[in-house]
Structures are given as C-alpha cells and as structure tokens.
C-alpha cells in the first residue's frame, strides 16, 4: 500500500503479504505518513467500498472518494462532483509502477 500526494510523490506506505484485504491495511498506511498534517481527500478504488471505511475517514476529517461496487445495496453519500477526482487515480498507479521498476 502506498500513500502519495497529488504529484505522485510517495509519502508513506505499508508492506504486507498479498493475502490481506486492502481495507485492513488502510489505518496502518495512513499512520505511516512521515510529514505533519493529514490528507484532505483519499482517492481509493472499489476495494475500499465500505460504509465503515467512509465513516472512519470522516472521523479522521478525510474526504473519501471511493466509487461504489456494482453490487452495493446501500446508498453512498457521494455525488458526481467529487467522483470526478477519481480520474486522477492514475498518479497512484504510476507511482506503484515506478517503485516496482526501481526496487
């Protein structure tokens, strides 16, 4: 798991086996951030689609931008305005590829 800023610079991370769900590593990844202040928004993929995760992020004063899975039965509180930020998720994927290439 990697936490990056808007430019793709790695800020923190969490290393674990491939078997645990990403949701279980979220709190540890956010705690690994080495600089002061917290993120204002968290852009995550469908693997984080959980109302419990959204509540946790709101308690931490972080705006969750997480698209709902197709089989989600409960309504989420997100509308299209903030979901447009999800298009910038490629920055995270680029950082993960860069880290994998230069390990």
Distance of alpha carbon 25 from alpha carbon 13, whole angstroms = 10
Q: Which among 27, 37, 29 is positioned nearest to 2, based on CA atoms?
A: 29
In this predicted structure, which of 5-9, 27-31, 44-48, 74-78 has the lowest mean pLDDT? 74-78
pTM of the predicted protein model? 0.72
Q: Which domain holds residue 22?
A: 2-101
The alpha-carbon radius of gyration of the chain (Å, integer) is 14
Instruction: Work out whether strand 2-4 and strand 10-13 pair parallel, antiparallel, or are unpaired.
Output: antiparallel
Q: How confident is the model at residue 35 (pLDDT cuts 50, 70, 90)?
A: low
Provide the domain count of the chain.
1
């Amino acid at each position: 798991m990697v936490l990056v800023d808007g430019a793709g610079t790695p800020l923190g991370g969490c290393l674990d086996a491939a078997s645990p769900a990403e949701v279980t590593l979220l709190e540890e990844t956010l705690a690994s951030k080495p600089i002061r202040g917290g993120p204002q928004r968290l852009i995550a993929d469908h693997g984080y689609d959980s109302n419990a995760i959204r509540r946790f992020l709101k308690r931490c004063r972080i705006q969750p931008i997480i698209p709902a899975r197709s089989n989600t039965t409960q309504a989420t509180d997100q509308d299209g305005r903030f979901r447009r930020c999800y298009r910038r998720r490629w920055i995270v994927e680029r950082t993960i590829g860069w880290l994998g290439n230069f390990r």
